[in-house]
Amino acid sequence: MDKRLKIALLAGGDSSEREIALNSAQQIAAALDSAKYDVKVIDLHYRNMTYTAPDGTEWEVDKNDFSLTVAGEKTLFEYALIIIHGTPGEDGKLQGYLDMMGIPYSSCSQTSSTITFDKISTKRAVAGRGINLAREIFICKGDKVDPQAIVDELGLPIFVKPNASGSSFGVTKVTSVDQIDAAIEAAFAESDQVLIEECIVGREFGCGVVVTEEKEILLPITEIISKRDFFDYEAKYTEGLSDEITPAQISDEIKAKLNRMTLEAYRACRCSGIVRIDFIVTEAGEPYLIEINSIPGMSSGSIVPKQVREAGMTLGELYDIVIEDSLKRFR
């Protein structure tokens, strides 16, 4: 009898980050220990959860009991490893379904995912905890916008961002007042709310972290040096458009500040699993929170896998820790 943990590795999703998630899933599937886990990669796209067998045939997951039947053989999944960026894996929707089904999973909870995916909610959750935050203006569809009033309050340049999106889709760095309307329109294409923030000038860093019942794992910090105007989608996923230095060449003082704020943000937002938290550090050595990535990229070119290797671990070993901890939490 096969006693391996039956895992549905849920990938894909419905957002602009779909292909990124599918690439990440292949890397994770290859890293997991096949002696411990029976892993099936499930492509979740809108209402469908599809498994593609090695012979190319497709089989649908039965969402009534979270099972998969292939050629008459039924598998009841016991665990969900979520690697979906954007909706429905990073905004809490999928976690809500899994909670109802009683299926343990690898990521943040439904509540935590909802908070971390929504940028303004993230800022409200960490406020007052010694974490520096950029000044912002928050607007919803239908709100009247006065571009000059925005510049008067926040100055230039500014960043216009979808409130709920990832991989910098819909993000614009605005350098003149006449660019604001178009930037807001681009952000609204990705989200129903828009966050406009002052530009914090400095060096960008990504901080990978996992906190379990037994320990805190602070991965080596990565400095992100974009060869574009900022670390946008092209810089993130096009080879040669950014340099990612791991471990970052920073003072012990800045490292300590980043580690403290990383743990504080992780706990304030009630995170679990593998999370990457990004900061800008000013010339004065003060970190400012950019965002929390509750399901960071895990493709070969992504930041967290590089941090894991620098820490002397494999992705498989890190996911062993995450899976064991999440199974304990769900018992």
Q: Could you report the per-residue pLDDT of 238-269, keeping only the tens digit for each?
A: 566 679 999 999 999 999 999 999 999 999 99
247 preceded by a cis bond (ω within 30 of 0): yes
Residues of the chain with CATH 3.30.470.20: 115-132+201-330
Q: CA–CA separation, 165 vs 167, rounded Å? A: 7
Q: For strands 203-211 and 222-226, give the pairing.
A: antiparallel
- Of 162, 144, 151, which Cα lies nearest the Cα of 17? 162
Percent of the chain with pLDDT over 70: 95
CATH architecture of 136-198: 2-Layer Sandwich (3.30)
Structure tokens at 236: 């993130």
Residue with tokens 């920073």, as numbered in its chain? 250
- The pLDDT, as a whole number, for residue 235 is 46
Q: Which residues, given as ranges, of the chain have pLDDT below 50?
A: 231-232, 235
What pLDDT, on the 0 to 100 scale, is given for residue 241? 65
CATH number for region 115-132+201-330: 3.30.470.20
Q: State the span(s) of the chain assigned CATH 3.30.1490.20.
A: 136-198
Q: What is the pLDDT of residues 182-236, one digit of tens each?
A: 999 999 998 899 999 999 999 999 999 999 999 999 999 999 997 766 544 554 5
pLDDT for res 223: 97
Q: For domain 5-107, is the CATH number 3.50.50.60?
A: no
